[in-house]
Amino acid sequence: MPALSRSSSRYRAPFDPITAVLFKIIQAITYLFVLAVLFMNPIAKQGIINPKAEYIITVTWPDRNPNDIDTYVEDPQGDLTYFKNPAAGLIHLDRDDRGNLNDTLTINGKAIENPLNQEVTTIRAVIPGEYVVNIHYYASEDNQPVPVTVRVDKVNPNLEVVYYDTLTLEHKDEERTAVRFSIMSDGRVSNINHVGKELVNKAFKRE
C-alpha cells in the first residue's frame, strides 16, 4: 500500500499536548485581560448624575421673572459661598441664576428657552456647626417685589426636607436671612431660626 501524503484528506498531524496547553493558557490570559479592561472602564450610564452631597440648598423664584436673586451661604468657619466665590471649603454654588439673562440659548439654529429661576448650593460633607443662608435682590428689571422659596434638604441616608418657606424681597439691594441652622455631628439638623445676619457687605469687604 502506498504511503499517505500530507495532501491526503486522511492525514492528521500528531497530537502535541504542550501546544494544546499553551493555547489554553493564551485563551485564559486573553479572557482575563478583557475582564480587566471592562472593570477599569465601565460602560457609562447616560443621563445619570450622582453628585456627592449631604445637604442641598435650593433657592427659586417665579419662572420668567426677569430679576436677579443671589444666594449667600456662610459655613461654621465663617467662609462664604456666593456668585463671586462659588466654592468655599466643602460648600459649592452649583448653579448661579441671573433671572432672564442667558435663559435663551441657540441650539442647532433654534432658540431654546429655559424659564426656570433657581440657584443650587450643596454641602458635601457633615461638618458640625451653624450655617447661615441669605438671599439678596441683586438686580431688578421691573422694580417689583420677588417671592423667593428656600428649601434645605438632607440627602443621606434618605431624602428629608428639613426646611421649606417662601419670603418676599421687596426691592433691589434688599438682603434677608432666609434660614439659619446647625448640623450635628451625627448629621441631624437642629436649631432652625431666622435671626438676621448681614453677609453681602462681609463678602464684598473681602474683595
* Alpha carbon distance 73, 88 (integer Å): 10
Q: Coil, strand or helix: which one is 154?
A: strand
* Alpha carbon distance 71, 168 (integer Å): 14
- Residue listed under C-alpha cell 479572557: 31
> Residue 85: its pLDDT value, please?
94
Range 55-205 classified under CATH 2.60.60.30: yes
pLDDT at 4 over 50: no
For residue 155, give every residue at least 6 positions away whose Cβ sits within 8 Å of its Cβ, in sequence order, or none.
53, 54, 55, 56
CA 52 to chain centre: 7
* pTM of the full structure: 0.69
Gyration radius from the chain CA atoms = 31
pLDDT at 178 over 90: yes
pLDDT at 18 over 70: no
> Residue 184: its pLDDT value, please?
97
- Residue listed under C-alpha cell 496547553: 21
137-160 pLDDT per residue, tens = 999 999 999 999 999 999 999 999
29-45 pLDDT per residue, tens = 665 665 554 445 444 44
* Alpha carbon distance 155, 15 (integer Å): 65
Confidence grade of residue 96 (pLDDT, cut at 50, 70, 90): confident
Mean pLDDT of all residues in 60-78: 94
Exposure of 48 in the CB half-sphere (CA atoms within 13 A): 5
Going by their DSSP bridges, the two strands 160-169 and 117-123 should be labelled as unpaired
